[in-house]
Structure 1
Amino acid sequence: MKLVNYTVTVATGDLAFAGTFHNVYIKLVGTEGESEHTWLESLKGPLSFIRGAESSFTVTCPVSIGKLILVEIDKQPHLLSFEDSWFPAKVEVKSPEGDTYNFPIYRWITDSEVHLFREGKALRVFEDDNLLGRYSRELELKQRGKDYRWDVYLEGIPHCMKAECIFSLPCEVRFSFTKTTEFFFTAATGLAELQLKGLSDCTKNWPNIDAIHRVFCCKRTDISEYVQKHWKEDAFFGYEFLNGVNPMLIQRCSVLPNNFPVSDDMVFLGAHCTLAGEMEKGNIFLCDYKPLDGLKTNIINGMKQYLMAPLILLHKTPDDQLMPIAIQLKQTPADDNPIFCPTDSEYDWLTAKIFVKSADFNEHELNVHLLRTHLMAEVFAVSLLRNVPMVHPLYKLLVPHTRYTLQINNLARGLLISKTGIFTKFAASGGEGMKTLLKRSLSSMTYRSLCIPDDIADRGLENVPNFYYRDDGLKLWEIIHRFVQGVLNFYYKNDDEVQKDTELQKWISDIFEHGFLSQAGTGIPESFTTVAELVKFVTMVIFTCSGQHSAVNAGQFDDCGWMPNAPLTLQHPPPTTKGTTSEATILQTLPAVNATVQIAATVWLLSRQSTDSVYLGQYPEEHFSEKIPCKLIKHFQGELQVLSAIINARNKNLEVPYTYLDPMVVENSVST
């Protein structure tokens, strides 16, 4: 009897410690039968499965086993050898009929159990009609349900993944060896530098502004140095509401809030200008920090800290600069709550701006950064991993945007916002205030605010000049949207297919329940009824995990490394009357030395990218195998390169380049 041969090529991932010296076995499963459990033996011997290796083997069957559905893989240690870990990237099988089958794996195998992997063609649950295929699908999700469980870190905020520590996370979602080494080395060296300088435990106030330069004198960026030189200037103060790390609060003002009684005689807008007239022209803008009102503030170094809930009015001048014209530091108008203006004394006005920047930094870190990117990305990831198998097109599309998110969030909960975390100890809103602000922020968050085209329109910012976050963000959203639309339209030909995809519906249902706590008022869909709804939501997920996170994370050290520009806490209350401030009162108000340096070290760490970062549009893991999705990926990459070139060309003419949404520096996922 003539036997038939299958050529099996196994690729091991190019990661540190990815290889194995164990015996590897495979079984091919097809529509007409299966192969024997075969030891993959070659002339390379123990080198067949070392890091980055690609080795071919022959698997022989008595007859053809039909179209391949899945492979079963296991590794067995040699006698007297210890269990090790292996990271197979993919398996390619060439059949005797001339067909090629691809099996994406991209996961760690740490035991001697048999693991099943589906052929690479994407299949939705309602079209997966092979019994063995459906069984493997169910088996995979059953195991994932055990590995990825929901947990409640704090009532009233999005749920997270249940994990006691980073070592209890599944291997495939942990940092690589490279990422781990660089992350902890950066953290350790930063803190060591501060300890050697005697700064990390110093509870004294800064003697003068120049002394703050001692912090990370060797760790500076071009923009952080620019901030040091220009932080007192009104033009730069206004610019940062558009292009700093928190471009999410400013909105066009058409009617003054009742609790912000600014009058024409308080602000000088030029000849023949009135507030009403400028508002009608669309030249007046508002930032309102109402969610900070009444927060219980921290105790640091034995001293009560202060955090205001200011209102700020800004004016677009004829030369297209955004200039602050009025600041009220508390929400309720009163005689002891003056409205500060640029015409006040230098130190009155500077003090008011410092309280605004402190409020902005606290709002940014807890709402804009932590909640709206990190916690949302974790919800998207956990729901995907619990409910959607590898063979599903949604998994293939979204899994690159989950990389490292679960570990970085686990670290954040342990090192930043826990009872002993840096943020809890050294931020004005740390502790009880943090919990309150997170709950308030989630209760007021809407679906539209997570979609940049809707958010920009709702805030009335379509025509504001020099708004590079908006310009780059809208272009990036459209590129992502076209890519997502192309991929999902390939798999979902009509709305009925979306509605009957139970795995897809469970994904969004879990997000609605665990991410938005079943709050229908947010506008987040509870289910998908149309392809268009699905496309928009998936676009939002990818944009949130990549571009939005980069916009509010990458510039943290640039903007906040120079503490006077963004103090995370303040030690004295604001002035209740004008004319009582000085440089001495500002130094008494700014954070103590230890609070300054601990926060500076943290934002330095969070702004660093790893050498193994994967940027938007890069797909080192090849999950798609069909021609059209692969072609769409190439087109997506081309569009991102064009956008990058446009951004770089514009930046050459800018005094302060805006790079945070350049696709060449935007990571695929929330990983820092």
Structure 2
Amino acid sequence: MLSFKSKEEEAKKTSDKDSENNTQTCRCMDNLFQKVANFVLGENYGRKKTTVKGKVVLMKKNVLDFNDLGASVLDRAHELIGQHISIRFISATHADSTSTEKKFRGKLGKPAILEDWISTITPLTVGESTYEVTFDWDVEIGLPGAFLIQNLHHSEFYLMTLTLENVPGHGHGQVHFVCNSWVYPSKYYTNDRIFFANKAYLPSETPALLRPYREEEMVILRGDGTGMLEKWDRVYDYALYNDLGDPDDEEKVRPVIGGSSEYPYPRRGRTSRPPTESDPNTETRLSLVESMKIYVPRDERFGHLKKSDFLAYGVESILKFLLPEVEAIADDTLNEFDSFEDVMKLYNGGIKLPQGPLLDGLLENISLQMFKEIIRSDGEGLAKYSIPQVIEADLSAWSTDEEFAREMLAGVNPVSIQLLKVFPPISKLDANVYGNQNSSIGAPHIEEHLDGLEVDEALKANRLFILDHHDTLMPYVKRINATSNKIYATRTLLFLQKDGTLKPVAIELSLPHEDEKLGAISKVCTPAKDGVEATIWQLAKTYVAVNDSGVHQLISHWLNTHAVIEPFVIATNRHLSVMHPINKLLHPHFRDTMNINASARNVLINSKGILERTFFTGKYSIEISSKIYKNWVFPNQALPVELVLRGMAVEDSNAPHGLRLTIEDYPYAVDGLEIWSAIKTWVQDYCTFYYKNDDMVQSDTELQSWWKELREEGHGDLKHEPWWPKMSSVKDVIDNCTIIIWISSALHAAVNFGQYPYAGYPPNRPTLSRRLLPEPNTPEYGELKEDPKKVLLKTISPQVQSLLSITLIEILSRHTSDEIYLGQRECPQWTMDPEPLKAFEKFGNKLREIEEKIVKMNQDERLKNRYGPVKVPYTLLYPSSQEGLTGRGIPNSVSI
């Protein structure tokens, strides 16, 4: 399980052997030459000097930015005129005696340049270049704790690592610097870029000579909150979600989200774009073409591989959407799937292109060559969509009651189902505003489905459960139904059977009165297998699936992983130095999050963006998630706490992980608790190495300022909530960091990478509904008898929205080729401290054991919820994966 993504070791193989063979000879010759020179020149005679070889691994701009040959040529030209890349070391042990500052600083070594830049040919493919650098080593440097790098070239480059070999005073061993950062030309910086050695220090333990550099670096990263931010900037700062709407277009006006009690929200990264002319509270937006230029700190942007993969998948998927829409123009029914066979065309050979002037005009308007190469003008189909797992083994199993219920435990949204504690269910909505919203489901509706039990008996036995999308949606039903979308607020009751599976026993469909203060108008649907009643039951399940799709995407996925974690990314970079052990712990779990969120604001969650176009919530989408954020509680995101709050587990010291599950075969909870426990053990092993007692936590100035800003700025709209945990003990550090890692990795994986396997087939997880239940004695009601399948297709998402939704989730469900998974690190030398490395290896081994355990459980036929009628094993919390649409794997971070 434990693996690393760095290619540095491969780079070393080509040069280390020769270097080792020649090091002693070179050192002797260099020393002899230096002694002769010193004698002749009379300078520093008798002073001991030597040379130290270093290896720098980097990626050139021409490799990373679509083969920018101009950058390569200009960089070489700068080399020829003496404008090099140079490095100077900073001593952690010897002071700079020439400094006039009050704070002592480490002695600076002499500059050394990267050698053979011109002669090192980098192929025009993604790859790393290794350069040697030779230092005239002054013994007074002692142990280098950091280095300054000056880039006098024309272009930026991505600096990965610097490794020193045979360092005097260091047992002639290695000193390793992990950098993983963009270095722009020096003209863009006030100070030369600094990188610290891989030794973690608490602020109070930092070598005194490095402290000024540590403090100054944090000042740069915080910025001053003003001015335009350019692509080379490294400033992390906060802003409201005021860039989703367009005040100059009436249909695109959206409220500012965040910064008010009406619309509270986590903060996002500041981009510094100017406000619009018509509304100074709204930030100007970028066009779709410019979306890749939206500001995020440079090191938070997608890596080169992910960027190319993301664009490639996006191009392919968008074309799969655009071209069927073009074909629909020539279709008599335009916007509908005429049959389930029409839906299957998506997976059985692709969509044929219409011939004639329409296609010719489309091709003329596409300027990018890569688009033209994919679009064929001979009438052949495009590459088809992959068959979603939910229909791969059985085309109809998705529609069964068993699968409908099972996906609440093992599908793409397994975090909403709750134990029913009160019957009938009651509402928490304000009765003064919404009237009586309590459930109208009565005992006669469900008792015939309870295997002989009465309702009270089933309640006491913890065998009744609820999927409740009533209170969340009822305040918006009237507004949504005033559009072309038509929904109900829903409650779904389920019964736990003796074989451990759930079956739905009632669905309540509720609408508001014209005067909302008069309460709900509700209809209760119960299971039926024949006639019109069976069709109504199937439609009722469809309305529930529509609601669950929206709640999943807006709340479980976007809000509870993407949005809530971004303030942690910002605050960590503003207040925890790269030398801080907690920064080193959390850094992998923030990779690409700011970048994907920035992209989402520009094309997914913005006004008239993909989410608004494809989900029933429409223009109220982010507004609804803001209302739910009011109830977000950070410590409740801990999996054990969250399961207990939903009634899905009870505390039991004799049970595994201290919890006894209410439903023993609850795949998300079973696998999740294993992962949670592994994460917490790893975090505990790591944190207790650096924090020996609570006093060390309380006196850690960076840690305390980090936690304070998270509460007061990052999640500032909730800053007065009393539930915020303290940061005053080692236990606090462990608990809080475990939650952060859980949200960033496993929780996101559980609610993201099952999207295409389950929702890639629109009838299973439709994103909107367009008709309410037909009333008796109407033509629509007659259709229920004549063609129930067509009624279903005319109710759920139409063709265009379905295809756009599939396009989106296909991108979101893919693992890119440079993904880094839980238990992996980008570089094996991520720390110089051996104990944390051993603990991390233990963590990787534990994750491998969990993988093996999941495989065995998925083969156990007694665990019916792990496989289901659709025969899809539960693998969403299987730690590792390969590239592509795998339906498994836990990346370290919210990276897609």
State the TM-score, normalized to the length of structure 2: 0.70
Kept in 2: contact 1:512–1:524 (CA 8 A): no
CA distance in 2, matches of 1:502, 1:200: 62
Contact 1:8 1:57 in 2 (8 A): yes
Query: What is the deviation of 1:6?
Result: 5.0
User: d(CA) in 2 for partners of 1:62 and 1:186?
Assistant: 52
Larger radius of gyration: 2
1:618 aligns with 2:824: yes
Of the candidates 85, 97, 100, which is equivalent to residue 24 of structure 1? 85
Q: Distance in 2 between matches of 1:61 and 1:614?
A: 37
Q: Distance in 1 between matches of 2:799 and 2:483?
A: 14
Of the candidates 614, 617, 621, which is equivalent to residue 434 of structure 1? 621
Candidates 191, 197, 204, aligned match of 1:126: 204
Separation (CA, whole Å) in 2 of partners of 1:227 and 1:392: 52
Q: Secondary structure at the match of 1:326?
A: strand
Structure 1 residues 117 and 134: CA distance shift in structure 2, 3 A = same
Would the alpha carbon gap of residues 602 and 208 (structure 1) be closer, same or farther in structure 2, given more than 3 Å must change?
same
Paired AA for residue 502 in structure 1: T
Q: Unpaired segments of 5 or more residues in structure 1? A: none
Contact 1:362 1:428 in 2 (8 A): yes
Q: In structure 2, do the counterparts of structure 1 residues 60 and 499 end up closer, same or farther at CA, with 3 Å as the change threshold?
A: same
SS at match of 1:288: strand
Cα distance in 1 for partners of 2:454, 2:136 equals: 86
Does residue 178 of structure 2 align to residue 104 of structure 1?
yes
* Shift in alpha-carbon separation, 1:332–1:578, aligned structure 2, 3 A: farther
Alignment of 1:240-259 (within 5 A): 240-256=407-423, 257-258=425-426, 259=438
Structure possessing the higher relative contact order (Cα contacts under 8 Å, 6 or more residues apart): 1
Q: Give the one of 626, 632, 639 matched to 1:445.
A: 632
Match of 1:5 in 2: 50
Shift in alpha-carbon separation, 1:234–1:199, aligned structure 2, 3 A:
farther
- Render the CA deviation track for 1:349-401: whole Å, top value 9, x for unaligned: 00100000000000000010000011122121111111111111011111111
517-526 vs 252-261, which deviates more?
517-526
8 A Cα contact 1:120 1:624, kept in partner: yes
Q: Within the alignment, does 1:91 sit opposite 2:163 as a pair?
A: yes
Write the deviation string for residues 542-596 of structure 1: whole angstroms up to 9, x where unpaired: 1111111000000001111111111111111245679947124333321221111
Relative to 1, partners in 2 of residues 1:297 and 1:142: Cα closer, same or farther, differing over 3 Å?
farther
Rounded Cα–Cα distance in structure 1 between residues aligned with 2:777 and 2:856: 46
Change (3 A) 1:627 1:419: same
Question: 1:176-215 to 2 correspondence within 5 Å?
Answer: 176-198=303-325, 204-215=335-346
Q: Against the structure 1 CA distance between its residues 316 and 384, is the aligned structure 2 distance closer, same or farther, given a 3 Å change threshold? A: same
Please say if 1:152 is aligned against 2:152: no
User: 1:200 & 1:90 partners in 2: Cα distance?
Assistant: 55
SS in 1 for 2:567: helix
Deviates more, 1:501-510 or 1:658-667: 501-510
Q: 2:844 aligns to what? A: 637
1:490 equivalent to 2:535? Answer no
Aligned partner of 1:292 in structure 2 is 473
How far has the Cα of 1:249 moved from its partner? 1.0
Letter in 1 for 2:831: F
Match of 1:538 among 712, 732, 737: 737
Secondary structure of the equivalent of 1:325? strand
Tell me the equivalent position of 1:666.
Answer: 890
Q: 1:314 to 1:448 in 2, by over 3 A?
A: farther
Q: How does 1:334-413 map to 2 (within 5 A)?
A: 337-343=522-528, 345-413=533-601
Match of 1:469 in 2: 668
Separation of aligned partners in 1, 2:307 and 2:205: 40
Contact 2:60 / 2:156 at 8 angstroms: preserved in 1?
A: no
The separation in 1 between residues aligned to 2:203 and 2:239, in whole angstroms, is 27
Aligned to 2:505, the other structure's residue is in SS state strand
Q: In the alignment, which residue of structure 1 is the partner of 2:396?
A: 229
Give me the whole-angstrom Cα distance separating, in 2, the residues matched to 1:411 and 1:42: 38
Report if the CA contact (8 A) 2:236-2:573 is conserved: yes
Question: Does residue 263 of the first structure (1) align with residue 390 of the second (2)?
Answer: no
**Matches of 1:139 and 1:337, distance apart in 2:** 62
Deviates more, 1:160-169 or 1:287-296: 160-169
1:550–1:660 Cα contact (<8 Å) kept: yes
Maintained 8 Å contact 2:237/2:270: yes
SS of aligned partner of 2:443? coil
1:419 to 575, 593, 607: 607
Distance of 1:58 and 1:394 partners within structure 2: 33
Contact 1:297 1:304 in 2 (8 A): no
Letter in 2 for 1:25: S
Counting aligned pairs with the same residue, the percent is 24
Deviates more, 1:619-628 or 1:31-40: 31-40
What's 2:215 paired with?
138
**Aligned-partner Cα distance in 2 for 1:604–1:354:** 22
- Residue pair 2:87, 2:113 contacting (<8 A) in 1 also: yes
Is 1:586 the counterpart of 2:765 in the alignment? no
Out of 557, 560, 563, which is 2:762 matched to?
A: 563
Alpha-carbon contact 1:240-1:247 (below 8 Å) kept: yes
Q: Structure 1 residues 359-368 or 249-258, which shifts more?
A: 249-258
| CA–CA distance in structure 2, aligned partners of residues 169 and 277 of structure 1 | 56
Aligned residues: 665
Q: Is the 8 A contact 1:400 1:619 kept in 2?
A: yes
Q: Answer yes or no: is the 8 Å Cα contact 2:114–2:132 preserved in 1.
A: no
Distance 2:686 2:316 in 1: 44
Local SS of the residue matching 2:707: helix
2:873 counterpart (638, 649, 657): 657
Q: Distance between the aligned counterparts of 2:775 and 2:475, measured in 1?
A: 17
Find the counterpart in structure 2 of residue 602 from structure 1.
Answer: 808
Q: Distance in 2 between matches of 1:181 and 1:55?
A: 25
Question: Structure 2: how far apart are the matches of 1:328 and 1:250?
Answer: 15
Q: Aligned partner of 2:85: which letter?
A: V
